[in-house]
Chains A and B, each alone.
Chain A
Amino acid sequence: MTDMRTPLGRVRGLGSAREGTIHFWRQRLTAIANVPLVLFMVGLMVALVGAPYEEVRATLANPFVTLVVILFLVSVLYHMKLGMQIVIEDYVHREGAKVALIALNIFFPLVIGVASVFALLKIAFGG
């Protein structure tokens, strides 16, 4: 069969959506990153169950803990944004609702992420 793509299109290999497999690839990449990050976060939560205010803040203010929790947030929030996007595209077929939900799906992880990182930095910098 004749390949109807232009030579440049064939070399880029990004298909008609011009995105190639980037969505799939980032979903897997964040999935792999999530494994150690989530395990760390679960361990942190388990260690801090019922702990007093000062201890929780002291632990979160530890530079290593702050850093890993921020990485956790970035990886997890990006991963869930990608996942929810697929769910919306699969089940919501009315154009207006779909566009609105796709937009909300970008805002929600951003708000969660910015609020959480701000809270962490506030604790880390002793605010």
Chain B
Amino acid sequence: MSKTTATRARPLSPHLQIYKPIPTMMMSIIHRITGCALYFGTLLVAIWLMAASGTPETFARVQAIYGSWLGLVVLFGFTWVLVHHMLGGIRHLVMDTGSEAALGKDQSRRAAVAMPIISIVLTILVWIVAIMARGA
């Protein structure tokens, strides 16, 4: 008796594809993905620090790679991912307080919808300041 129930295919709980994507859910998923991306992004920071501790030639080579077209695209993406994850994290910290302002249906939806917009604007601002600082 117990053997037959154990080998029979058990019903599975519904997974992602069955749900309609909603902003809060998308932001939760993106928070995980950006977190994983930042995990490997620390390699870029470590390489930069190690290059600075090395010879001027090593540093120049790394800076040339980071300053190349592809390097700048990666760094811009890195900045956006970082800003997005930080905003998401702050959002989660506010939600952890359990306040209605953070967890209410409309409020949480609005915060989630604002996330990509605010993160892109902030990322562009950081880069404008960086480019201005370089020019000065």
Contacts and interface: CB of A to CB of B under 8 A. Distances in A.
B39 A50 contact: no
B118 interface: no
B134 interface: yes
B126 A115 contact: no
A126 to B, nearest CB: 11
Contacts of B52: 53, 56-57, 60, 119, 123
A22 B108 CA distance: 27
Interface string A65-106: 000010000001100100110010000000000000000000
B43 A38 contact: no
Given A50-B67, A119-B52, A123-B52, A80 B42 contact: yes
23 contacts: A28-B96, A34-B89, A35-B86, A42-B79, A42-B126, A46-B129, A47-B133, A53-B52, A56-B52, A80-B42, A84-B39, A87-B35, A109-B42, A112-B42, A112-B46, A115-B49, A115-B50, A116-B50, A118-B53, A119-B46, A120-B53, A123-B52, A127-B53
Interface of B: 32, 35-36, 38-39, 42-43, 45-46, 49-50, 52-53, 56, 59-60, 63, 67, 79, 82, 86, 89-90, 92-93, 96, 126, 129-131, 133-134
